[in-house]
């Protein structure tokens, strides 16, 4: 099979530099292309700087980009770079942009790795579309019966409101969240800590197949790479970056699932935790995060949506200010606002055209239109929709 | 039976002015005595002011003070006023003093009633001693099995550390908290919303008897007065005022138990709530208070004690500052500090004398001495205790 230069460069760098690379991202930010950078790495060019040369020292001559692209394709995966239409640019701009401001007080390791992936291997639907309204649902592998019940309650509620569920594909909480979405025919994203072609855990092979149908499997790692401890941590960074908020449904003291919450904080995303019985140790990690103010206590999908709406991230006073604002438009969620902006006052537009204009999945567009109609901001005219003139709306 | 003038005046005013009276407290604060005020009410003297004359308009000529004192005595109750040695002056100074600063943002009804009682009817041990280390434990009457388990877990832990459990004597959470203390031979205070001689609920007659043995039954109301809705609210004010913190163990949305928490806030006390399963509605009220920042999330007695220690009420930075302070003495709880202050460097003192000097119950004094010894701040010498010279301690 033949592959273009850009694809080959991306696959080469994905193999040679595993996971996030701050110096590589700095070159990309300065306008260098993947092709240029791949060539420079192969030539050991000095302008790359000592850190990037060090990161590529052991593998720079290991060029199997063509084979990797073929191998990935055999497993149904394609390679995305920042140039791809499906690249979740919006989410990455918000998440890594916030991390770059240094506003977050997260520890050094989080800051060092808080850079974009240079390539993503994806199987399934468009990441850009799926992540327009996405919630990360994570938790312990040793999920209790209560934890499973709480997870299902929240996931069911969120998917009814067209939210994509992002998780890590692991046993326990991740699996319950993914399965709950899949069984309801909803979209869910599993971010793997291993490369395409590896099913980890093996018991989830069938689940991963179902996820890719309406949702997506995502990995930062080259084909057939095995999972490893450090890869779980950087994987969690993508789970948090690809969603507007992260909720931990159950986690014991110092559970690994809490690292996704820390990533969410590092990205300025909404960090949330579900409380549980204090008579068991299963929710200790959640309680600790809430107590320290590192996570907001949430008890339901409604709680979560209210935090993730336009009101999310504001303090109580600001929330009230918006809540009682005379302007209906100010109360719209980001997705609703996009659909509202796509509507015309002067002519009706078909739903598909609105979804395309707003860059949102069709189901979410319909959902947003229903809300806008309820609030008197648009009306249906046969198969089209038209904006209703609104005093507070921009011209 | 004969009673002195002060007792008769207190009993008269307790009957004529039920519950808290802001104008009466203002006169007391200006140095008027109960006797003087009782006489003035009987004479309808104008200097009392229109509000106090209005409050006493319907009952001023109903003087059955002698009979009330006799009736109370038949049920084992005695009358306390601010002049009594057993009066919990310290607690009231903190609680009502804070409320008077207007620092609390609590609603008007809470502020209006946020004044001391003018008389208390008590059966059992000294209120002043019992409330030196006291935690209010309250919750729903419809306690779930989980709520009962959480309540017992917390109460058992607190009484092991010599804390008195204060509650309202009601069904559900109150009863489980009181019973748990009584069964362990520990002190507990039940504040009633009815007068001495009324067992409410009737099913608790035996429980109330046991409570009075090592703890106390308390009421602001004259003998045989029946409970009424408004009396529950003012009763809750005393539950919060008599303890250094209030924890709600289980409460549904808008449960009446939450009013004690609001009182605790009005008094600048530590307000706490125990989380529970989000899959039931039983803990909704607790979760809501935590989410709004009106209560601190606590999961154990250790959590509660750390909030109620000298560190309580400080923000995280301040807590760390104290925690890592080089000075051991700065880390002592209020009770430990009292015992430390009562110790002499130059001679040993017996435990009973220390308890008396510190104004603490004997068991709590012993407990504090053990902690001080562990921290190298005192040592045992036969049957006496001596302070160990400490660089950070005041001379």
DSSP labels for A253-319?
Answer: TT-TTHHHHHHHHHTTPEEEE----TTSSTTHHHHHHHHTTSSEE--SHHHHHHHHSTTTT--HHHH
Contact B316 A299 (CB under 8 A): no
For residue B324, the model assigns a pLDDT of 53
Q: What is the CA radius of gyration of chain B?
A: 22
Whether the pLDDT of residue A317 is over 70: the answer is no
So what's the pLDDT on residue B367?
Answer: 77
Per cent of chain B over pLDDT 70 is 91
User: What is the per-residue pLDDT for A1?
Assistant: 64
Is residue A105 over pLDDT 80? no
Of B146, B292, B299, the CB nearest to A287: B299
As a whole number of Å, the CA-based R_g of chain A is 22
**3-state SS, residue A115:** coil
CA distance B388 to chain A (A): 36
- Average pLDDT estimate for A189-209: 97
DSSP A1: -
Would you call B290 and A283 a contact, using CB atoms and an 8 Å cutoff?
Answer: no
% residues pLDDT > 70 (chain A) = 91
Instruction: Give the E-state strand segments of A106-183 in sequence order.
Output: 120-124, 134-138, 164-167
Most confident segment among A100-109, A309-318, B139-148: B139-148
Cα B114 from Cα B126, distance rounded (Å): 23
CA distance B189 to chain A (A): 25
CA dihedral (A13, A15, A17, A20) in degrees, to 10, reads: 90
Domain ranges across chain B: 1-65, 108-308, 317-387
- Token pair 């140095």 is found at B31
By CB neighbour count within 10 A (0-12 exposed, 13-18 middle, 19+ buried), where does A32 fall?
Answer: middle
Cross-chain residue pair A277–B153, CB shorter than 8 Å: no
SS3 content of chain A, % helix, strand, coil (to 5): 50, 10, 40
Higher pLDDT: A252 or A328? It is A252
Answer yes or no: do A279 and B316 touch at CB < 8 A: no
> What residues of A are in contact with residue B274 (Cβ under 8 Å)?
278
- Are A37 and A27 in contact by the 8 Å Cβ rule? The answer is yes
Residues of A in contact with B316 (CB under 8 A): 292-293
Reading the block at residue A157, the tokens are 């509620």
Number of A/B CB contacts below 8 angstroms equals 63
| CB spacing of A275 vs B287 below 8 angstroms | yes
CB B33 within 8 A of CB B5: no
Please tell me the predicted confidence (pLDDT) of residue A391.
Answer: 57
- Torsional class of B200: left (φ above 0), alpha (ψ -120 to 50), beta (otherwise): beta
DSSP A315-332: -HHHHHHHHT-S-GGGG-
Q: Note the CATH number of domain A326-387.
A: 1.10.10.10
B284·A299 Cβ contact <8 A: yes
Measured in whole angstroms, the distance separating CA A307 from the mean position of its chain's CA atoms is 17
Give the residue-averaged pLDDT of A391-395.
Answer: 45
Q: What is the mean pLDDT of residues A335-355?
A: 89
Query: Mutate which of A154, A270, A299 to disrupt the B interface (most B C-beta within 10 Å)?
Result: A299
Per DSSP, the three-state class of B33 is: coil
- The side-by-side arrangement of strands in the sheet containing A349-350 is A349-350, A384-387, A378-381
> Is the CB of A316 less than 8 angstroms away from the CB of B290?
no
Q: For residue A104, what pLDDT band results from cuts at 50, 70 and 90?
A: low
Between A208 and A254, the higher pLDDT residue: A208
User: Are A300 and B278 inside 8 Å of each other by CB?
Assistant: yes
Both tokens of B308, joined, read 């109620």
Find out whether B342 and B354 touch, Cβ atoms under 8 Å: yes
CA distance A70 to A77: 9
**How close does chain A come to B150, measured CA to CA in Å?**
6
Strand segments (E) across chain B: 78-80, 120-124, 134-138, 164-167, 188-192, 216-219, 245-248, 270-273, 296-297, 349-350, 378-381, 384-387
Residues of A in contact with B284 (CB under 8 A): 299
A233-242, A343-352, B238-247: least confidently modelled range:
A343-352
- Average pLDDT (A79-85) is 96
Half-sphere exposure of residue A166: CA atoms within 13 angstroms, side-chain side:
29
Q: A318: burial class by Cβ within 10 Å (0-12, 13-18, 19+)?
A: exposed
Model pLDDT for residues B280-325, shown as the tens digit of each residue: 999 999 999 999 888 999 999 999 998 887 533 344 444 444 455 5
B-chain CB neighbours of A277 within 8 Å are 146, 150, 276-277
| Averaged pLDDT for residues A230-243 | 94
- At B191, list the tokens: 């504040």
Q: Would you call A278 and B153 a contact, using CB atoms and an 8 Å cutoff?
A: yes
Best CA proximity match to B273, nearest among B151, B130, B132: B151
Angle between helices A362-374 and A334-342 (to 10 degrees): 90
- Which is nearest to B273 in space by CA: B306, B299, B238? B299
Query: Is the CB of B284 less than 8 angstroms away from the CB of A297?
Result: no
Query: Which candidate in A148, A277, A300 is best for mutational testing of the B interface (most B CBs within 10 A)?
Result: A277
Domain B108-308 belongs to what architecture?
Answer: 3-Layer(aba) Sandwich (3.40)
Q: Choose the weakest-confidence range: A121-135, A162-176, B289-303.
A: B289-303
b/e burial code for range B96-130 (CB count within 10 A of at least 16 → b): bebbeeeebebeeebbebbbbbbbbbbbbbbbbbb
Sheet holding B349-350, edge to edge: B349-350, B384-387, B378-381
Instruction: Give the nearest partner residue to B279 out of A153, A284, A303, using CB atoms.
Output: A153
Q: Is the pLDDT of residue A394 over 80?
A: no
Nearest residue to B273 (alpha-carbon basis) of B316, B304, B306: B304
Range scoring the smallest mean pLDDT among A138-147, A366-375, B308-317:
B308-317
For residue B237, the distance in angstroms to the closest alpha carbon of chain A comes to: 26
Residue of B39, B206, B33, B190 whose CA lies nearest to B120: B190
Q: Is the peptide bond before A160 cis (omega within 30 degrees of 0)?
A: no
User: For residue B239, what are its two tokens?
Assistant: 């539950």
**Tokens representing A379?**
């009306």
Residues of B in contact with A287 (CB under 8 A): 275, 297, 299
Cis check for the bond before A231: say yes or no (omega within 30 of 0). no
pLDDT of residue A214: 96
Candidate from A149, A278, A296 with C-beta closest to B274:
A278
Using alpha carbons, list the distances in angstroms from residue A252 to A135, A145, A275, A298: 21, 14, 11, 17
DSSP letter for each residue of B75-108:
TT-EEE-TTSTTS-HHHHHHHHHHHHHT-----H
- The answer to whether A158 and A135 have CB atoms below 8 angstroms apart is yes
Residue A203: closest CA among A223, A175, A178, A235: A175
CATH 1.10.10.10 for domain B317-387, yes or no, is yes
Q: Which of B150, B278, B292 sits opposite A278 (nearest CB)?
A: B150
Tell the residue number behind the tokens 């519950």, with chain if given.
B19
pLDDT at A393: 42
Which tokens sit at B227? 């409970």
Cβ contact, residue pair B278, A296, below 8 Å: no
Q: Which residues of chain B have pLDDT under 70?
A: 1, 102-109, 310-327, 330, 390-395
Contact B158, B304 (CB under 8 A): yes
CB contact under 8 A, B146 and A279: yes
Partners of residue B150 in chain A, C-beta under 8 Å:
277-279
Q: Which residues of A touch B (CB under 8 A)?
A: 146, 149-150, 153, 274-279, 283-284, 287, 290-293, 296-300, 303, 316
Q: In what order do the strands lie in the sheet with B245-248?
A: B78-80, B120-124, B216-219, B188-192, B164-167, B134-138, B245-248, B270-273, B296-297
* Cα(B361)–Cα(B162) distance, integer angstroms: 9
Instruction: Please indicate whether, in this complex, the C-beta atoms of B275 and A283 are within 8 angstroms of each other.
Output: yes
Cα–Cα dist A96/A268, whole Å = 9
The span from the CA of B317 to the CA of B211, in Å, is 41
Instruction: Quickly state the pLDDT bin for A100 (edges 50, 70, 90).
Output: confident
Asked whether the beta carbons of residue A278 and residue B278 sit closer than 8 angstroms, the reply is no
For residue B278, the chain A residues in CB contact (below 8 A) are 150, 153, 274-276, 299-300
d(CA A299, CA A272): 10
Q: Which has the higher per-residue pLDDT, A362 or A30?
A: A30
CA distance B26 to chain A (A): 36
Chain B residues inside the 8 Å CB shell of A271: none
Residue A110 in this model has a pLDDT that exceeds 90: no
- Asked whether the predicted pLDDT for residue A63 surpasses 90, the reply is no
Q: Which residue in B153, B278, B292 is closest to A279 by CB distance? A: B153
| pLDDT exceeds cutoff 80 at A392 | no
State how far the Cα of B257 lies from the Cα of B247, in Å rounded to an integer: 10
Give residue B191's pLDDT.
98
Chain A residue nearest residue B296, CA to CA:
A291
Inter-chain touch A274–B278, beta carbons under 8 Å: yes
Would you state the pLDDT for residue B331? 73
Tally of CB atoms within 10 A around B241: 28
CB contact under 8 A, B297 and A275: yes
Query: Pick from B149, B153, B275: which is nearest to A275 by CB?
Result: B275
Which of A94, A395, A31, A40 lies closest to A241, judged by CA? A94
d(CA A230, CA A212): 25
Select from A149, A154, A294, A297 the residue whose CB has the most chain B CBs within 10 Å, as the one to mutate to test that interface: A297
Question: Whole-angstrom Cα distance, residue A38 to residue A65?
Answer: 11
Q: Give the pLDDT band (50/70/90) at residue A311.
A: very low
A150/B300 CB distance under 8 A: no
* Pick from A345, A312, A340, A314: nearest CA to A327: A340
Query: Which position has the token pair 């039940």?
Result: B190
Residues whose CB is less than 8 angstroms from the CB of residue B124 and which lie 6 or more positions away in sequence, other chains included: B189, B211, B212, B213, B214, B215, B216, B217
Closest Cα partner for B278 from B137, B146, B142? B146
Residue in chain B closest to A288 (alpha carbons) equals B297
User: Quick one: average pLDDT of A128-135?
Assistant: 95
Report CB contact under 8 Å: B279, A316. Answer: no
pLDDT confidence of A103, banded at 50, 70, 90? low
> How confident is the model at residue A319, as a pLDDT?
45
Contact of B106 with B40, CB cutoff 8 Å:
no
- Interface residue ranges in chain B relative to chain A, Cβ cutoff 8 Å: 146, 149-150, 153, 274-279, 283-284, 287, 290-293, 296-300, 303, 316
């Amino acid at each position: 099979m033949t592959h273009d230069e850009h694809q080959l460069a991306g696959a080469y760098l994905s193999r040679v530099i595993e996971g996030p690379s701050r110096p590589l991202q700095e070159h990309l930010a300065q306008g260098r292309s993947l092709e240029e950078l791949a060539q420079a790495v192969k030539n050991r060019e000095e302008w790359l700087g000592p850190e990037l040369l060090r990161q590529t020292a052991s593998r720079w001559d290991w060029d199997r980009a063509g084979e990797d692209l073929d191998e990935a394709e055999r497993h149904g995966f394609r390679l995305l770079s920042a140039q791809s239409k499906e690249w979740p640019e919006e989410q990455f701009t918000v998440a890594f942009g916030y991390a770059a401001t240094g506003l977050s007080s997260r520890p050094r390791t989080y800051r060092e790795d808080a850079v974009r992936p240079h390539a993503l291997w994806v199987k399934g639907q468009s990441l850009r579309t799926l992540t327009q309204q996405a919630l990360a649902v994570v938790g312990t592998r040793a999920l209790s019966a209560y934890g499973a019940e709480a997870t299902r309650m929240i996931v069911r509620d969120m998917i009814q409101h067209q939210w994509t569920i992002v998780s890590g594909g692991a046993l326990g909480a991740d699996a319950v969240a993914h399965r709950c979405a899949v069984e309801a025919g909803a979209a869910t994203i599993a971010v793997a800590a291993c490369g395409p072609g590896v099913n980890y855990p093996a018991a989830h092979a069938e689940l991963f197949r179902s996820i890719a149908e309406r949702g997506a499997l995502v990995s930062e790692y080259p084909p057939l790479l095995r999972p490893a401890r450090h890869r779980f941590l950087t994987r969690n960074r993508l789970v948090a970056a690809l969603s507007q908020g992260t909720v931990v449904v159950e986690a014991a003291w110092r559970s690994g699932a809490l690292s996704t919450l820390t990533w969410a904080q590092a990205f300025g995303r909404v960090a949330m935790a579900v409380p549980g019985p204090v008579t068991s140790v299963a929710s200790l990690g959640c309680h600790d995060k809430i107590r320290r103010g590192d996570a907001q206590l949430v008890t339901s999908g409604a709680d979560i949506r209210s935090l993730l709406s336009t009101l999310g991230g504001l303090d109580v006073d600001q929330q009230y200010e918006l809540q009682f604002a005379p302007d209906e438009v100010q109360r719209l969620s980001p997705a609703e606002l996009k659909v509202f902006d796509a509507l015309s006052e002067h002519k009706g537009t078909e739903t598909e055209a609105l979804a395309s204009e707003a860059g949102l999945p069709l189901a979410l567009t319909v959902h947003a239109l229903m809300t806008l109609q309820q609030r008197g901001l648009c009306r249906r005219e046969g198969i089209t929709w038209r904006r209703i003139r609104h005093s507070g709306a921009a011209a």
